Amino acid sequence: MKQIAKAVAILAIAALCASAAWAAEGGNPKKGKYLYKKTCKSCHVEGAEGGNLTPMTKTMSQWDRFFEKAQHPKAEAWKDLKEQDIKDINQFLYDHALDSSQPETCG
């Protein structure tokens, strides 16, 4: 029992000490999904100006690189978005990127 208590304590300390330096943190992916549908999907569908785009179009680090610039190639595209909104969209796209974890189902 003592051994377990010790192991638990070590694990808890390890968790507390873990650094939070990770890409795409602090965004709310749920809000991001809503904003992505509302803001991005108008241009980014098959046949539209921006061409079809889904979270799976890029890898996690590619999405982060894109958002690091904090600038959309089409200048006015993000004009109605606040900084946190962009973070939320980034989080959603990162979480569902090509190399992210995917549901393990058939079909």
Helix (H, G, I), strand (E, B) or coil at 46: coil
Comparing CB distances to another protein, the nearer of 28 and 62 is: 28
Comparing CB distances to another protein, the nearer of 31 and 72 is: 31
The residue type of 15 is: A
d(CA 96, CA 65): 15
Block residue for tokens 């904003």: 35
- Give contact residues for another protein (rule: CB under 8 A): 1, 3-4, 7-8, 11-12, 14-16, 18, 20, 22, 28, 30-31, 33, 101-107
CB of 13 to another protein, least distance (A): 10
Comparing CB distances to another protein, the nearer of 6 and 74 is: 6
CB of 42 to another protein, least distance (A): 18
Structural contact between residues 46 and 54, judged by C-beta atoms closer than 8 angstroms: no
CB of 90 to another protein, least distance (A): 14
Structural contact between residues 32 and 92, judged by C-beta atoms closer than 8 angstroms: yes
